[in-house]
Structure 1
Amino acid sequence: MNSSIKGIATATLALLLNYSANPVFALPQKINHPITVAKSQPLTNTLIVPGERVGPITRTTTKQDLVKLFGASHLVDKTISGAEGIGSFAATQVNLNQGRCLTTSCSASTLLVVWSDNTRTKPLDVRNLGSAWKTREGIGVGTPLSELRKKLGDFKLYGLEWDYGGTILLDSSKLSRYQGKLILRVNAAPNAYEKFPNDYQAVLGDGTFSSSDRHWKPLGITLTEIIVVLNPGE
């Protein structure tokens, strides 16, 4: 494992990429019904600033701040399990899908804040982000591999179908400054294995592969998960 990602994998990355309860990696359904958030202006700020904020959610946002931002009726407190069921972590889901959207796309309207401890006063990370949330570079859920290569250069990533499957090694990219602040994971199209079994098998497992590897091309690789780390190591 690359030395710079190893430190994250031993603590934060294990939590970020592998826990058993309340699957975060399922993407919200897209519904086009723009309605404003109760007692607030429509939330149009869906900018991701790695290590700093996700829209209005910052490194110092508390659970009470989420109540002010979104309304208590749209928040659900959860406890999620760590890697291999070891440890548990407080989390709060923000769910505005029930007739309310943050923007003209409801794909942005559900997210999960994972807290550093049970006081819910310091966010560890924000995840379960839909396609409307994007970095300044225009990277968001659904970005195809071809676009990622334009923005990141020729980077390295882990093979598919294991704990860290499809994770991009940002330290090998043009956006190495986001290492430890942003987790990006890609996956193949749902039918890729059936259509292109040889190519699929060629990029499986815990090895690292170049983004320019020819076997990725027919698999319909897109960005399927973004995790924004706000307080790493907490």
Structure 2
Amino acid sequence: MNSYIKTIATAALGLLLIYSGKEAVGLTQKIDSSVTIAKSQTLTDTLIIPGERVGPITRTTTKQDLVKLFGASRVVDKTISGAEGIGSFAATQLKLDGGRSLLVVWSDNTRTKPLDVRNLGSGWKTREGIGVGTPLSELRKQLGNFKLYGLGWDYGGTILLDSTKLSRYQGKLILRVDAAPNAYEKFPNDYQAVSGDATFSSTNSHWKPLGIKLTEIVVVLNPSQE
């Protein structure tokens, strides 16, 4: 009887060790997952380097890299239309808090080569401190006096970088400004004076009451060859 009990006890101990091992593996996986989530939640590299990277996203980053960096739950694929509604592009939305969300636009449906990064939240900044929400007055300090397209059309508010202090970013960085949401209703004459398919100086007095701020940044990583 004692031998029988000993055999049963030994078998039970073995099962317990196997079960505990499985639990340990599961616990390790949960810890690893938590670490991944923690990394994405505490992303501190929010630097924009035009033509090179947006934080950890570089010219060679793939969709799978985004999943590894931030977790599958924060990565959502979509399709977007091109300028003036021409063409369509594969894109991936990265959903992060703290103004760090963004959209990666890909060169093709394999999602392995990023064309550009856009829809950047206010948490992303260039070395000069330029980011979404930067007012016109600060843009003039960083760029000098510049020209930009008029408001109210597909390319409205786009800044022409070629003759600015940041001309080295031409072809690598697209900056667009816009007026405050209620600007047209409050200052219709000023709004219309700087609207349409024409270029205007950043010193034009009609900009002043409109509450002009930077509303869009596009960081070009792999320019289209077309």
For this structure pair, what is the TM-score category when the shorter chain's length is used for normalisation? 0.7 to 0.9
**1:202 is aligned to 2:193:** yes
CA distance in 2, matches of 1:190, 1:90: 30
Q: Which residue of 2 aligns with 1:52?
A: 52
Q: Is the contact between residue 83 and residue 154 of structure 2 (CA under 8 Å) also seen in structure 1?
A: no
Total equivalences in the alignment? 191
C-alpha displacement at 1:138, in angstroms?
A: 0.4
**Quick check: which one's helix share is greater?**
2
Question: Which of the numbers 204, 223, 226 marks the counterpart of 1:232?
Answer: 223
Segments of structure 2 that go 5 or more residues without pairing to the other structure are 1-34
Larger Rg: 2
C-alpha displacement at 1:231, in angstroms?
A: 0.4
Give TM-score scaled by structure 2 length.
Answer: 0.81
Aligned AA for 1:107? G
C-alpha displacement at 1:37, in angstroms?
A: 6.0
Q: Which residue of 2 aligns with 1:38?
A: 37
CA distance in 2, matches of 1:39, 1:193: 43
What CA deviation, in whole Å up to 9, does each residue of 1:122-166 have, x standing for no partner? 100001111110000000000000000000000000000011000
Q: Which residue of 1 aligns with 2:18?
A: none
Q: Which residue of 2 aligns with 1:8?
A: none
Q: Which residue of 2 aligns with 1:172?
A: 163
Runs (4 or more) in structure 1 with deviation over 3 Å come to: none
CA distance in 2, matches of 1:221, 1:134: 18
C-alpha displacement at 1:81, in angstroms?
A: 1.9
More displaced, 150-159 or 40-49? Answer: 40-49
Q: Is the contact between residue 112 and residue 128 of structure 1 (CA under 8 Å) also seen in structure 2?
A: yes
CA RMSD between the two structures: 1.6
SS at match of 1:194: helix
C-alpha displacement at 1:172, in angstroms?
A: 2.2
Identity percentage of aligned residues: 83
Q: Which residue of 1 aligns with 2:148?
A: 157
Q: Which has the higher contact order (CA 8 A, sep 6+)?
A: 1
Q: Which residue of 1 aligns with 2:126?
A: 135
Aligned AA for 2:99? S
Aligned AA for 1:212? T
C-alpha displacement at 1:86, in angstroms?
A: 2.8
Compared CA separation, residues 84 and 145, structure 1 to 2 (3 A): closer
Segments of structure 1 that go 5 or more residues without pairing to the other structure are 1-35
